[in-house]
Amino acid sequence: MMRLVNRTFTELQPGETAELRRLITQDDLYVFAAASGNYNPMHLPSGDMDGDGQPENIAPGMFVASMISAVLGTLLPGPGTLYRRQVVDFHERAHAGEELLCKVAVTAKAADGTVTLETVVTRPADGALIVTGTAQVLAPEVKFDRDDIEVPGLVVQRHRHFEALVERAKQLPPLPVAVVCPDDANSLGGALLAAREGIITPILIGTESAIRAAAGESLDGIEIIDIEGDQAAALQACKLVHEGRASAVMKGHLHTDDLLKPMLDKAFGLRVGRRFTHVFVMDVPGRPEPVMVTDAAINIAPDLATKVDITQNAIDLALAIGMQPRVGVLSAVETVNPAIQSSIDAALLSKMAERGQIKGGLVDGPLAMDNAVDLGAARIKGITGGVAGRANILVVPGIDAGNMLAKQLSFVSHAEGAGLVLGARVPVILNSRSDSPMSRLASCAVAALHHAGGKAGEKK
C-alpha cells in the first residue's frame, strides 16, 4: 500500500520541486526487457557484446527516462497528470548496481492547463549527469489523496542463487565425475556443459558407440570407458571412486535403482555408515536463499532413524554450500498429535538436535508448510524460535509429500532444482530427464562444493 497526493493546476507554483531516488537492479533490466520487447544484449545482465567476458549491464536510456515519468505521475504534479511532450538528452550511461536521482522543477504554467517542468537525472555517487530535458504535461484539476493504492508485485523468474553457486564452483579445481550411461542428449549434454564451464572433468562410462551417437559434437580429450550393461557401468563408476579417479558419480540414461544397487555392493559399494538420502536444492524465484527439500526420491516411508540421516545429510550439504541450516520438519500440523506419526517424528528430531544427536544446524518441528516458510503465518500461530517462518531445509514425512512439494516448486513456482544423493562415499548427482541445463549445471556445482566442503572438514 502507498499514499499518493497530487498538486492540482491551481495549487502548482513555478519553483516547486520533487525528487526520487532509485537503485537500478539486474532484475529491473529483465523486467524492462520483458515489458518493452527490447532485448538488446547490452541491456541484459548476462549480455556481453564486446567479448571481454564481462556483461555491460547498461540500463536502457528509456528505462532511465521512465524515472521522470514516475516523478510526474506520483509526486509532482502527481495522480491525474497526462503527458503532452517530453524532450530528453542522454549524457552518461547508467548501469545495474548504481543509484540514480531524478529531480523535476516547475518552470511555467499556461492558461490551457499545461505545466512545463525541467527534468534532470544524475548519479549521486560521482555527480554525473545522465539525462536532462523538459516535460510538458496536463496537470490534474481534481484533488487526489488516497492511501490504498496497491500494485501487484513481480517475481522475476531468474535463478540468482544457482548462478552464484555455479560461479563459486568455477573457482574450484574441476571435479572428476564418473558419468554412468550418458547415452542420451540430455544426460550427456549436462555433463558436457559442466565440463565446458570448468566445474567437472567427466569420465563417460557405458556403450561407447551409443555415447558418441548421442554427443552431436566431438568428444576428443574426454575419457570414455566402453562397457555394456547399466549395472555394470554403475559398478565401474564405484571402482573409479575406490581407485581415487572419481570424486562424484553422475546419473545418465538409466534407472535410479540400477545406478544405486551396485553402490550397496559389499566389495565395491560406496556405503559409509549413513543411509542414502536424496536432497533437492531448489532455487525458488523471490526467496532470499535456496530451499532444500528432502527426501523426495529414495526413502519411501522413512522411519525415525532414517529421518535422522535425512536431516543430518541435508545439514552437512547446507554447510558445504555456505548456508546456515534451519531445518523445518514438516507435518500437517504444528503441534504433536499422537494420531499423526510425522508430528511425533518431528518433535523427536527437534529434541535430538537439542541434545546434540543431530549436529550443525537448528531443527524445529512439527511445522506445517505455511509456518515453516512464512514469518507472518508463524507469528499468527504464536510459533517462535530460529526456524519457524525461516526454514531453508524442509524435511518431509515421506516420498509422496516430498515429490509433490519439489514438483510444485518447479512447475508452479518456477524453481530450478539440483538433485544429489548423499550418504555415500562421494556425492551422487541425480537428475531427471525433464531437468533443464541450469538444473544439471547447478547439480554439478553443488556436488563440487559439497566435495570441497568435505575436504575442508577433513583438514580441520
- Residues 219-273: pLDDT tens digits? 989 999 999 999 999 999 999 999 999 999 999 999 999 999 999 888 888 988 8
Per-residue confidence at 460, pLDDT binned at 50, 70, 90? very low
Cα separation, 20 vs 74, in Å, equals: 10
- The neighbour count for residue 43, using CB atoms within 10 Å, is 23
CA 348 to chain centre: 31
Average pLDDT, the chain: 92
**Do 231 and 288 share a domain, yes or no?**
no
For 151-181, what is each residue's pLDDT tens digit? 887 767 678 899 899 999 999 999 999 999 9
Residue whose C-alpha cell reads 501487484 in the numeric block: 152
Asked if 316 contacts 360 with a C-beta cutoff of 8 angstroms, the reply is yes
Q: Which of these, 380, 359, 362, 355, lies nearest to 370 by C-alpha position? A: 380
Of all residues in the chain, the percent with pLDDT exceeding 70 is 98
CA torsion angle 246 249 255 261 (round to 10): 70
- Residue-wise pLDDT for 193-216, tens only, equals 999 999 999 999 999 999 999 988
In the numeric block, which cell numbers belong to residue 9? 493546476
Residue 28 in any domain: the answer is: yes
Q: In the chain, what is the straight-line distance between the N-terminal and C-terminal CA atoms, in Å? A: 51
- 120 and 199 in a single domain? The answer is no
246 in the same domain as 361? no
Position 430 in a domain: no
Are residue 116 and residue 169 in the same domain, yes or no? no
Residue 23 pLDDT exceeds 90? yes
* Residue 52 counted as domain residue: yes
The answer on 366 and 379 residing in a single domain is: yes
Residues 6+ apart with CB under 8 A from 424: 249, 263, 270, 271, 272, 276
Among residues 225, 252, 272, which one ends one of the domains? 272
User: CA–CA separation, 295 vs 302, rounded Å?
Assistant: 9
**Nearest-CA neighbor of 191 among 418, 440, 445?**
440
State residue 50's pLDDT score: 78
Please check whether residues 256 and 312 belong to one and the same domain: no
Q: How many whole angstroms separate alpha carbon 185 and alpha carbon 94?
A: 41
Same domain for 263 and 281? no
Instruction: Give bridge partners of residue 22 from the DSSP assignment.
Output: 100
CA–CA separation, 4 and 10 (whole Å): 18
Side by side, the strands of the sheet bearing 291-294 are 223-226, 200-206, 175-180, 248-251, 428-429, 416-422, 277-283, 291-294, 393-395, 326-330, 362-367
- Give the single-character DSSP code of 173: P
Give the domain extent around 204: 160-272
- Distance, CA of 101 to CA of 103 (rounded, Å): 7
Cell of 440: 544439471
142 plus 192 within the same structural domain: no
Helix, strand or coil, per DSSP, at residue 225: strand
Indicate whether 155 belongs to any domain: no
Helices and strands (DSSP H and E) totals, the chain = 13, 18
Overall size of the chain counted in residues: 460
Alpha carbon separation from 220 to 130, 173, 215 (Å, rounded)? 50, 20, 11
Angle among Cα 434, 437, 441 to the nearest 5 degrees reads: 120
Residue 437 in domain = no
The total domain count for the chain is 3
* pLDDT the model gives residue 271: 87
Dig out the grid coordinates for 119 from the structure: 527534468
